[in-house]
Structure 1
Amino acid sequence: MSKQVALVLGSGGARGYAHIGVIEELEARGYEITCIAGCSMGSVIGGIYAAGKLREYREWVESLDYLDVLRLLDVSFRLGAIRGERVFGKIHEILGEVNIEDLSIPYTAVATDLTNQQEIWFQEGCLHQAMRASAAIPSLFTPVMQGSRMLVDGGLLNPLPI
Structure 2
Amino acid sequence: MYARVNPVALFDQFGHPPVSSPASVPTASPPVQADARAAAPHQRRRFRLALVVGSGGVRSVAVLGFIQGLREAGLSPDLLVGCSAGAMASALIATGVGMQEGIEVAATLWTADVTRQSRRGAVAQMLWPRWLGFDGDFSLRRDDLVRSRLKQVFGDTQIEHLPTPLRVVATCIETGDNACIDRGPVVDALRASIGIPFLFAPQHIDGQRMVDGFLSDPLPVSAANDADLTIAIGFVAPQPKRIDKPQRLLGSITSTMTNSLMQARLAAAQGQGQQIIAVFPEFDRRVGLFDVDAMPHVVAKGREAAHQVLPQIEQALARQTAGA
Q: Same fold (TM over 0.5)?
A: yes
> Is 1:108 aligned with 2:167?
yes
Q: Which one has a bigger Cα radius of gyration?
A: 2
1:73 and 1:84 in contact (8 A); partners too: no
Structure 2 match to 1:157: 216
User: Could you give the per-residue CA deviations for residues 113-153 of structure 1, whole angstroms, max 9, x where no partner exists?
Assistant: 01122111111111110111011122333221235422101
Deviation at 1:23, TM superposition (A): 2.2
Choose between structure 1 and 2 for higher RCO, CA contacts under 8 A separated by at least 6 residues. 2
Give the alignment's TM-score, normalised by structure 1.
0.81
Helix, strand or coil for the counterpart of 1:80? coil
Helix, strand or coil for the counterpart of 1:137? coil
Match of 1:80 among 129, 139, 145: 139
Structure 2 match to 1:44: 88
2:193 and 2:210 in contact (8 A); partners too: yes
Deviation at 1:42, TM superposition (A): 0.9
- Structure 1: which 5+ residue stretches go unaligned? none
Structure 2 match to 1:139: 198
Helix, strand or coil for the counterpart of 1:86? helix
Give the alignment's TM-score, normalised by structure 2.
0.43
Match of 1:10 among 50, 54, 76: 54
- Structure 2: which 5+ residue stretches go unaligned? 1-47, 123-136, 222-324
User: Could you give the per-residue CA deviations for residues 70-115 of structure 1, whole angstroms, max 9, x where no partner exists?
Assistant: 3774223373333332123122112121111111111100110011
Helix, strand or coil for the counterpart of 2:183? coil
State the distance in 2 between where 1:104 and 1:156 align: 28
Deviation at 1:160, TM superposition (A): 1.1
Identity of aligned residues (%): 31
State the distance in 2 between where 1:121 and 1:61 align: 22
Tell me how many residue pairs correspond in the alignment: 156
Structure 1 match to 2:69: 25
1:39 and 1:135 in contact (8 A); partners too: yes
Helix, strand or coil for the counterpart of 1:20? helix
